[in-house]
Amino acid sequence: MTQAYVIDEMISAKSIAARIEALASEIKTTFADTDKLVVVGLLRGSFVFIADLVRELDLNVEVDFLEASSYGDGMESSREVRILKDLRGEIGGRDVLVVEDIVDTGFTLSHVMRLLSSRNPKRLETIALLDKPSRRETDIRATWTGFEIPDEFVVGYGIDYAQRNRNLPYIGKVRFT
């Protein structure tokens, strides 16, 4: 059972859209020489972000998904990363962009990057919609970041609390009542 809460808008849908457009421009420049970019979404939180991002990329893209978890239904990382769904395709010798919803402690992204690096991609870069550097416990940083946020529990735009609020068009701060 989830605790009662309210959601205060933190980042508007309009701000998110504008930032994604700018990030896509930078990504297109970086990967301009690729024949096909494999965009790997980390499920479940990144699905809205990845959909909007790939529509802004004027590149030949292939989309794949990997599901990793260190949270379950809780609000705190367990620091144990489990791969719940692996990629369907091969990434060896290919250009890969990993799309993450939020980098918090960094354990999940660090684990995923080690895993994918071991598969010998040509180039491996990362993008995170949100970054909470004050919570970082590992030495990892996304290549591109949409927004740096304070240590707040957030939902919306694909990010959930106990599988709720993913469908909000904005990022909202959860305030427990």
User: What are the chain's domains?
Assistant: 13-142 (3.40.50.2020)
Q: How many helices (H) and strands (E) does the chain have?
A: 3, 9
- CA–CA dist 134, 106 (Å, integer): 11
Q: Annotated catalytic residue: which of 104, 131, 139, 160? A: 104
- CA–CA dist 8, 174 (Å, integer): 7
Over its C-alpha atoms, the chain yields an Rg (Å, rounded) of: 16
Q: pLDDT digit string (tens) for 111-155? A: 999 999 999 999 999 999 999 999 999 999 999 999 999 999 999
Number of CB atoms found within 10 A of residue 25's CB:
12
Q: pLDDT digit string (tens) for 53-95? A: 999 999 999 999 999 877 555 555 556 788 999 999 999 999 9
Catalytic annotation on 104?
Answer: yes
- CA–CA dist 56, 97 (Å, integer): 14
